[in-house]
Structure 1
Amino acid sequence: MGFSPKTKRRLQRILPFGVIWCIIGLFVLFIQEAATSHKNLNPNVVITLTPKVFAFAMISVTLIGFIVGAVEIMWLGKLFNTKSFYKKIFYKLSFYTFFLVLAIIFVYPIAASIELGLPPLSEMVIYKLSNFLISLDFISTLVSIAVSLFASLFYSEISFHVGDAVLMNFFTGKYHKPIQEKRIFLFCDMKSSTTIAEQLGHIEYFKLLKAYYSDFTNAITNHSGSVYQYVGDEIIISWKYEEGIKNNNWINCFLAMKQDLHNKANWYKNKFGLEPTFKSGFHVGEVTTGEIGTLKKEIIFTGDVLNTTARIQGLCNSHNVDILISKKLIKELKPDHSFKVKSMGVSELKGKEEKMELFTVFRSS
């Protein structure tokens, strides 16, 4: 049984924590061994790096990295979400430092017991632990932990702001050279946004947008979508073709977004005095994907499919529907009795010579 898209995304975000901790752990051990010429100069404090101890140390460090990642992604990151970048790092470092001191106290006796061949709670192991806790080596260990923490938390914050997939693509160089790929696009625009902005004022309107976009998160992640851009009150969501058509992810994402927003209708009415709604356009086609920019790098899509999708979305009002889909994409809709598809006829798209038949979709229930 495969993981859900949301679980996969969480695992993809947690995995780099373990990798970062493992790499830094290897680097620290290498420096220590090189500095001492692989000799234990203080055996009453330092654990001799035998093959068994090394294996245990690397497994422990990597597992601690995964635990930190899980706590960060699933709990602590959300707890400090409203804080500034530097306050987040400070609060998190404080919390994790306390947690990791306890982890050291737990892990050190096990490593010492492996080295000495004695039980973890034996008198010799406890004596060695007490010496370690009042030594400079303990301070050195805390510093290396702080570096691992800062590196992994910094990665987490950067990936949160630019997107996990985008950051990974930068690291792997996937789009360093432009490539062609087939993608599905959803252009989603808030209805009557200008009127709403005038009614609420700039600050309240911004708060509305923040909540509005936040409420789309689960629908997008649960259906394998990725946010390409936020443009004012418009959000552009994209799927690789294979991921988009799988389980009708593209249309189910739209319907889930509508439902999630509707479920919070009373909250929006109490908070802002209105219920936001949106209109959407869908299309599929080839794009060129690649890195661009000098002062600020981005991964962008170029191709006629984006302009066409924007034009399709722009016709929602004239057709009095919330969603319009190109004929090319509606052909990819997998059979599902819960959907009803209706042709809206052939339409002219602004700036396009060729006319296009458009469709709308809604739940049959």
Structure 2
Amino acid sequence: MAMTRLTQRKFKALCFYMFSWVFVVLGVTSLLSYGDSSGMDSSKIMLMTQLSLLMGLSHGIYDVVILQDEMDRRPVFAALLIRSSFFLASICANLILCILIWKIDRENGIINAESIGMVRESFKEHSTHVQIAALFVLGHLITFVRSVHKKFGTRVFINTCLGKYQDPKEEDLVFMFLDLKNSTTICEELGNIRYSNFIRDYYKLLSNCCEENQGEIYQIAGDGAFLTWKTAACRHKARPLNCFYDFKDALQHTQRKFLRRYGVAPDFKAAVHCGKVISTEVGNFGSEMAYHGDVLNTTSRIQTLCSKLGQDFLISEDFFAQLPLPLPHKFICTKAGSFELKGKKNAIMIFSLQTP
């Protein structure tokens, strides 16, 4: 049975933690062993690999299973204290497990007086204390990297680390602009604080659907959000259409929860367009990614036609030409007409998409 996109997202997150721990632990161990006459023997490599895999699994279970791969909503000090306590407990537990497994006695079993004594002696050694402190720092470092990765997305994160966006770069991208329906009315009914919680829950569902369809959230401004994909990635799989469908489905399944908590359920309308844009980092302190080009303005202009045409999902002719056929989820595509958008010299053919 094929994994759902939700399962794939969590599996990828778990793999990230395990790979990161193996890479970092073996890397640091190699650096510390550099110049040592004894070097790193195979047994030491096996032991550190085993320890790093256990730490990666423990870290992944905490973030992916316990926290559900979401932001920790507890106060910063409490969240840091709980995470630090978890790291110390898991480091000690995994070290003990590695020692017991590595020094297992086939006759007396894994736990006996000799193995317990060996664990005690190991934890009295200065090198073990240093190792625990190093693993503790590495755990927080990996958590920080994962948080930055989640904020910027895989493509932007990697390219930013490599410095590819320091100079302007032309890219062919797809942009989807989503707008929350009746946001002003909802804000007036709920008040600022409850509306803030409402919009936070709304965007949490959107970000999950976006990640599961390998998209990136470029910008969130109030009740509107820009999502983006590489155009080449949408030619064989209609990822923006899948994202739209999944988000609609997620809102439908959480409708009762929203109604119970806020007395109103969210709904949205969206538009998609594609084309070439210039990608670059802007600013010096607090710099951020920016996309410059007519594509974004055109996408937002198309979205304004949703209310006029009574449609929830509109796409441009340029994007329609990139879509693989047949369309997923039995989407029905019909011509909405040719429209002259504000700021555009030529009219643009618009298509509306609906599900049965």
TM-score (norm 2): 0.86
SS of 2:170's equivalent in the other structure is: strand
Residue 6 of structure 1, CA deviation: 5.0
CA separation in 2, counterparts of 1:214 and 1:86? 23
1:216 paired to 2:203:
no
SS of 2:350's equivalent in the other structure is: strand
CA separation in 1, counterparts of 2:145 and 2:319? 37
Residue 188 of structure 1, CA deviation: 0.3
Residue equivalent to 2:94: 103
RMSD: 3.0
Structure 1 residues 305 and 109, CA gap change in structure 2 (3 angstroms): same
Residue equivalent to 1:329: 319
Residue equivalent to 1:25: 25
Alpha-carbon contact 2:55-2:94 (below 8 Å) kept:
no
1:249 paired to 2:239:
yes
Q: Which runs of 5+ in 1 are unaligned?
A: 40-48
Decide which moves more: 55-64 or 7-16: 7-16
Q: Which runs of 5+ in 2 are unaligned?
A: none
CA separation in 1, counterparts of 2:43 and 2:162? 33
CA separation in 2, counterparts of 1:247 and 1:192? 31
Deviation digits for residues 165-186 of structure 1, max 9, x if unmatched?
A: 4333322323233222211111
Structure 1 residues 320 and 103, CA gap change in structure 2 (3 angstroms): same
Residue equivalent to 1:83: 74
Alpha-carbon contact 2:173-2:274 (below 8 Å) kept:
yes
Deviation digits for residues 216-244 of structure 1, max 9, x if unmatched?
A: 23432332221111111111111111222
**Residue type matched to 1:81 in 2?**
D
Structure 1 residues 319 and 228, CA gap change in structure 2 (3 angstroms): same
CA separation in 2, counterparts of 1:26 and 1:291? 33
Residue equivalent to 2:216: 226
Alpha-carbon contact 1:5-1:221 (below 8 Å) kept:
no
CA separation in 2, counterparts of 1:93 and 1:166? 29
Residue 153 of structure 1, CA deviation: 1.8
Structure 1 residues 224 and 34, CA gap change in structure 2 (3 angstroms): closer
Alignment of 1:156-305 (within 5 A): 156-305=146-295
Alpha-carbon contact 2:51-2:98 (below 8 Å) kept:
no
CA separation in 1, counterparts of 2:2 and 2:170? 28
Alpha-carbon contact 1:28-1:144 (below 8 Å) kept:
no
Alpha-carbon contact 2:14-2:60 (below 8 Å) kept:
yes
Decide which moves more: 155-164 or 14-23: 14-23
**Which of 331, 347, 362 is residue 354 of structure 2 equivalent to?**
362
Residue 20 of structure 1, CA deviation: 4.5
SS of 2:238's equivalent in the other structure is: helix
CA separation in 2, counterparts of 1:256 and 1:24? 36
Structure 1 residues 171 and 17, CA gap change in structure 2 (3 angstroms): farther
Deviation digits for residues 37-74 of structure 1, max 9, x if unmatched?
A: 547xxxxxxxxx76122221332243134314421441
Alpha-carbon contact 2:216-2:229 (below 8 Å) kept:
yes
**Which of 137, 141, 144 is residue 154 of structure 1 equivalent to?**
144
Residue 158 of structure 1, CA deviation: 2.9
The structure with the largest alpha-carbon Rg is: 1
**Residue type matched to 1:344 in 2?**
A
**Residue type matched to 1:106 in 2?**
L
Residue 96 of structure 1, CA deviation: 2.4
CA separation in 2, counterparts of 1:80 and 1:332? 35
Alpha-carbon contact 1:5-1:224 (below 8 Å) kept:
no
Residue equivalent to 1:42: none
Residue 353 of structure 1, CA deviation: 1.8
Residue 302 of structure 1, CA deviation: 1.4
Residue equivalent to 1:46: none
CA separation in 2, counterparts of 1:273 and 1:123? 62
Alignment of 1:19-168 (within 5 A): 20-22=20-22, 24-26=24-26, 29=29, 33=33, 38=37, 51-78=41-68, 81-111=72-102, 127-168=117-158
CA separation in 1, counterparts of 2:301 and 2:19? 44
Deviation digits for residues 76-126 of structure 1, max 9, x if unmatched?
A: 333872124443232112112112211111112444579xxx997687665
CA separation in 1, counterparts of 2:104 and 2:256? 60
CA separation in 2, counterparts of 1:2 and 1:177? 41
Residue equivalent to 1:347: 339
CA separation in 1, counterparts of 2:71 and 2:317? 45
Alpha-carbon contact 2:55-2:91 (below 8 Å) kept:
no
Alpha-carbon contact 1:4-1:222 (below 8 Å) kept:
no
Deviation digits for residues 265-300 of structure 1, max 9, x if unmatched?
A: 222222222222111111011111122220112222
